[in-house]
Structure 1
Amino acid sequence: MARGLLSWASLRKICGSHYYIQARLPCVRVKYLFFSWLAVFVGSWVIYVQYSTHTELCRAHDCKKIICDKYKKGIIDGSACGSLCDKGTLYFGKCLSNKPNNQVYRGMWDESQVILKCRLEEPFHFDLDSNMEPRKEMVLFDKPTKGTSMEEFREMVYSLLKAKLGDQTNLQKLLKLVVTVADGNKDGHVSLAEAKSTWALLQLNEFLITVILQDKEHTPKLLGFCGDLYVTEKVHYSYLYGLTIPWVLEFFIPSGLRRSMDQWFTPSWPRKAKISIGLLEFVEDVFHGTFGNFLMCDVSANNIGYNVKHDLKMIDMRKVVPEVSFKQLIGGRHCETDVDCVYGTDCRTTCHQSKKQCSTELDQPNLTKVCTLLKDYLLNGAPPDVREELEKQLYSCIALRGVAGQMEMEHSLILNNLKTLLWKKISHTKDS
């Protein structure tokens, strides 16, 4: 009897376990299916977003078609037109665009790696505002018109330069430089098609800055142009920290972790010091330079690169703007608060509450913005014997304020002190 009861109890236990397992299995399946569906959904969404963004941002085919159609019709010409449209020796590679209207690509020109930049929209006049007007095919290359003499073209360019840079004493020198660049085939004269290309390019702020700073070490070399497409040298490292992350992943990485990751992927400290010296020299290049003062309105790691020798090169100079143009436009802007008086990310003025207009005096000079960017970059891993003085110099730089004319001497002193401190530390090393 006891044996029978034991057997029955054992059977019930086994059967109970069997039913329990059967009851659990549907739950496990449901969870498995749910997470599988979730993974497929998220993956599909990421792929869709990447594809949609890629097709919007990367339109090399449209860029080439528009340019080459105009070239083959004889409307435009330039030193890169034949290679792009006839020979096929200049071609688009990896897409680097971050805005639909500003097409940027790595590419090849013969055996050299290059960067191609092309606009698919044009700005409304020389506007510092981010709003863009759709590109008008019929009027993009409308000037100069047929019958325009070379002297009239020079007057057009001179007036444009004066409007953008102010009444500089040496604008004739810059005019001569622009005309030299316009002569794409170097035959000694500028054709109407070359003049149309040059006029379109001069509407682009970055192209003008590139021409102005062509003799400076930290500006990528201008290699050629066709219409409003232009080609510059490739910069090997296109991010200050040496680490780039796909923009989709940026959403999932906390800002604190992102800053830590940046610091993990940096060159050795002597090389960081050399790159930093280059950035300080660029500040000198644009501060009361040959053709006026320029403002750095987007000082971020994304806009700064360097070559294999760790010489700094500017990647994106669209937000390096002439001070004269900036003041003309920002000074008349309506505002309610100081937030309305910002261009780019780093050029800020104050809002006059009584006038409801933005002032023209910047809150921070270029040097202060650069020192803010370099603070963590340089202090992380700095040698003990230089760290205290370096920190003191950087914080003095970040605290720099005041009216431009009054702080010019202090600006120059701090800049030179920083360069000297860094150079003394690395001058004896192979990285220098």
Structure 2
Amino acid sequence: MFSLAISLQLTNFRCESGSQKCPFARFSYLHMKYLFFSWLAVFVGSWVVYVEYSSYTELCRGHECRNSICDKYRKGVIDGSACSSLCEKETLYLGKCFTAKPNSQVGPPVKTSPPVGLRANPKRSLCLQQANQRNVSGESKMVLEDQANLADLATHVLSVADANKDGHISLPEARSTWALLQLNEFLLALVLQDREHTPKLLGFCGDLYMMEKVPNSPLYGISLPWIVEVWIPAGLRRSMDQWFTPSWPHKAKISIGLLELVEDIFHGTFGSFLMCDVSTATFGYNDRHDFKVMDARYIIPEATFQERIRQQRCDADEDCLYGTDCLTSCDLTKHRCTPEVTRPNLAKACDTLKDYILQGAPSDVSEELEKQLYACIALKGSVEQMEMEHSLILNNLKTLLWKKISHTKDS
């Protein structure tokens, strides 16, 4: 309507002097059409940016999160090693927003669980309060495999739960610990406590916990605002990602770290875990180029995954997906998902590393490295069905990369 009204006005306009050129003669309908759509694009773009910013700030409410947690702490509902610093001494504060995702709202070095309050069962909390190791082990079987070393895990959980180190676990400490144990990322930090792949756990208060800051993320490439992403061609985007990577020896060290993570969570001390989101955004590295897990929400105990996926109704294999990478098949006779994933962790990790590690690889290893990576990506079925092949490919890749950098300072 706006464009039509202006067009009609211009059509009805006449110059008084025949010798004088009309100043509006150059404004054709096509020009006005371009002007209108340019204005419309600016309006729509501004509206989208406003909506995104509004939703972002709605999620990133650090002061409200702090007030809620400190209120529960002062009432004696929760407790933890970081509560005093956060709520009394005020030496700990919530910084910039790390992400707009509701599951990880507050910026580094602090992370929180979803804002649904503490999910503590009074009976389970009482078990923790009494430090009954047998009961803690029984509860741990709900998320870990029976063959896992639950006694050692229970001992470590009790040590972490005793925030003030007085040898006694209070009910507020028990509530906080149980809520945190429901989080895959927190559980993995406990399981891999002696390894370098996960950031160190620094403290907690209620269902908020602090992790060591990882300065470099994602694993490779550059993070851009989504409004910029949509205008960049896919080919240019891949080239840009390669511009923002470390030197090849450093990339080799980081890649070895990812392969070691796969090895550690496969039949590890506390059972097997599945990696259900193996994207570059979920990993990072520190200044020494040590590989670190940035987001472990989708690294889930295999027993927990199988229990959940069995209950999922399906009409096709595509319905049996957890996260972005854990896919099983659909049993059409029962319309239920089968528990075995179609691709092991190693195949997904190699898929993520392919473009990263092959780019700039030395000529004397590039051909063999490419061969090993594609053999790795081709792995299908559960690891139990191909355990020997899985171990062989994993060891070959680690050996190939390590031999190339072991004599350099990058090792």
Cα displacement (A) at 1:385: 1.2
Structure 1 unpaired stretches of 5+: 1-14, 107-114, 122-134
1:320 paired to 2:322 = no
Cα displacement (A) at 1:394: 0.4
2:92 maps to a residue whose letter is L
Cα displacement (A) at 1:186: 1.6
Pick which of 37-46 and 56-65 moved more: 37-46
Distance 1:24 1:94 in 2: 51
Distance 2:179 2:166 in 1: 21
2:39 maps to a residue whose letter is W
Aligned to 1:84: 86
1:338 maps to a residue whose letter is D
1:371 maps to a residue whose letter is C
1:142–1:392 distance in 2 versus 1, CA, 3 Å: closer
CA contact (8 A) 1:292 1:322 kept: yes
Distance 2:309 2:336 in 1: 9
1:221 paired to 2:200 = yes
Aligned to 1:99: 101
1:410–1:149 distance in 2 versus 1, CA, 3 Å: closer
How many residues matched?
395
1:49 paired to 2:51 = yes
CA contact (8 A) 1:63 1:118 kept: no
2:386 maps to a residue whose letter is M
2:397 maps to a residue whose letter is L
Distance 1:410 1:117 in 2: 38
Aligned to 2:185: 206
SS in 2 for 1:231: strand
SS in 1 for 2:25: helix
Aligned to 1:117: 111
Structure 2 unpaired stretches of 5+: 1-16
Cα displacement (A) at 1:382: 1.1
Cα displacement (A) at 1:363: 0.6
Cα displacement (A) at 1:208: 1.1
Distance 2:100 2:320 in 1: 24
SS in 2 for 1:94: coil
1:252 paired to 2:254 = no
SS in 2 for 1:230: strand
Aligned pairs for 1:397-416 (under 5 A) are 397-416=376-395
1:296 paired to 2:296 = no
1:197 paired to 2:167 = no
CA contact (8 A) 2:262 2:346 kept: yes
TM-score, length of structure 1 as denominator length: 0.85
Aligned pairs for 1:138-217 (under 5 A) are 140-141=119-120, 143=122, 150-151=129-130, 154-168=133-147, 170-217=149-196
1:27–1:329 distance in 2 versus 1, CA, 3 Å: closer
Distance 1:189 1:44 in 2: 56
1:229–1:17 distance in 2 versus 1, CA, 3 Å: farther
Pick which of 173-182 and 50-59 moved more: 50-59
1:181 maps to a residue whose letter is V
CA contact (8 A) 2:143 2:303 kept: yes
Distance 1:149 1:276 in 2: 39
Aligned to 1:262: 241
Aligned to 2:256: 277
- Larger strand share, 1 or 2: 1
CA contact (8 A) 1:297 1:347 kept: yes
Cα displacement (A) at 1:425: 1.0
CA contact (8 A) 1:286 1:293 kept: yes
Distance 1:322 1:201 in 2: 15
1:145–1:72 distance in 2 versus 1, CA, 3 Å: farther
Aligned pairs for 1:16-55 (under 5 A) are 18-24=20-26, 30=32, 34=36, 37-38=39-40, 40-55=42-57
1:52 maps to a residue whose letter is S
SS in 2 for 1:305: strand
SS in 2 for 1:275: helix
CA contact (8 A) 2:221 2:244 kept: yes
Pick which of 61-70 and 244-253 moved more: 244-253
CA contact (8 A) 1:68 1:81 kept: yes
Look at both structures and tell me which one has the larger radius of gyration over its CA atoms. Answer: 1
Distance 1:390 1:282 in 2: 19
Pick which of 40-49 and 187-196 moved more: 40-49
CA contact (8 A) 1:118 1:228 kept: yes
CA contact (8 A) 1:50 1:248 kept: no
CA contact (8 A) 2:95 2:106 kept: no
2:349 maps to a residue whose letter is V
SS in 2 for 1:90: coil
Cα displacement (A) at 1:105: 0.8
1:20–1:394 distance in 2 versus 1, CA, 3 Å: same
SS in 2 for 1:193: helix
CA contact (8 A) 1:46 1:248 kept: no
CA contact (8 A) 1:144 1:153 kept: no
Distance 2:312 2:330 in 1: 9
TM-score, length of structure 2 as denominator length: 0.89
Which of 381, 385, 397 is residue 418 of structure 1 equivalent to?
A: 397
Aligned to 1:238: 217
1:146–1:36 distance in 2 versus 1, CA, 3 Å: closer
